[in-house]
Every structure is written in structure tokens, then in C-alpha cells.
Amino acid sequence: MKLKSMPSLRNKKRYVTFRVHSERPILYSSMRGAVTNSILNWMGEEGFSSANIRIIKNLWDAKVRTGWLTCPPSALDDVKMSLALIHQIGDDRVIFHVLRVSGTIKSGKKKISLGKR
């Protein structure tokens, strides 16, 4: 049985879409490791746990190197900063570029395809 919290007690969340610019293809596992480490370094363990940040595996697109993560609205700036502070994955130099912040996956996808911020 899947446990669900009451709708009124659920925390608000935002979906952050980002693109990884790099010279070579990036694996999901290495991207995930880099993002987690950077957020842990910037926000600390306490901040990371209270923010309840999740990287969505199904939405990682290895071809265009775009990924999605969820975080509460209050932690948005810290998450953006943590992503911006990643400059290397393994030996490859990378840039994490936040494309869009949205309330739902559907609206995020729609706005990315329209090229809006």
C-alpha cells in the first residue's frame, strides 16, 4: 500500500529543468553524483534534508543532456547556486544551465518547447 499525505499537508514544490553543457556525453549516475555533492557542499546535510531535493531519473535525456529535479520554492536560489558551482564531472569541464522553473512537469515541458523562461 502506498502511503499518501493529505493534500493540505503536502509541501509545495518546484520543478527545475537544467541542461548540462559538456564536451563529451554525461552519464546519469555521474550527473546525479555531481549534483548531490554540490548541493550537499553548499547547503549542508541539514539543508539538503529539509529541502527534500529529488532528481527525476525518468526525465534525464542523455541526448540533449537535460534533467529535472524537484525542490521547495524556498530552496530555489540555493539549488540554482549549487548547480552553477559545478564546473567539472570527472575530467570533463561542464556548465549547468537552469532552463526553467515550473510548478508542474507538463507546464515545464510546454514552456521549454516554446522557448520561454
Site residues (vs other proteins, CB under 8 A):
21, 41, 76-78, 80-81, 83-85, 87, 93-95, 97-98, 117
Measured from the CB atom, the residue of 37 and 52 that comes closer to other proteins is 37
Q: Are 111 and 100 in contact (CB under 8 A)?
A: yes
Q: State the nearest-atom distance from the C-beta of 11 to other proteins, in Å.
A: 21
Q: State the nearest-atom distance from the C-beta of 41 to other proteins, in Å.
A: 7
Cα dist from 106 to 57, 102, 103, whole Å: 16, 9, 9
Measured from the CB atom, the residue of 39 and 94 that comes closer to other proteins is 94
Measured from the CB atom, the residue of 76 and 112 that comes closer to other proteins is 76
CA 35/CA 65 separation, integer angstroms: 14
Measured from the CB atom, the residue of 32 and 80 that comes closer to other proteins is 80
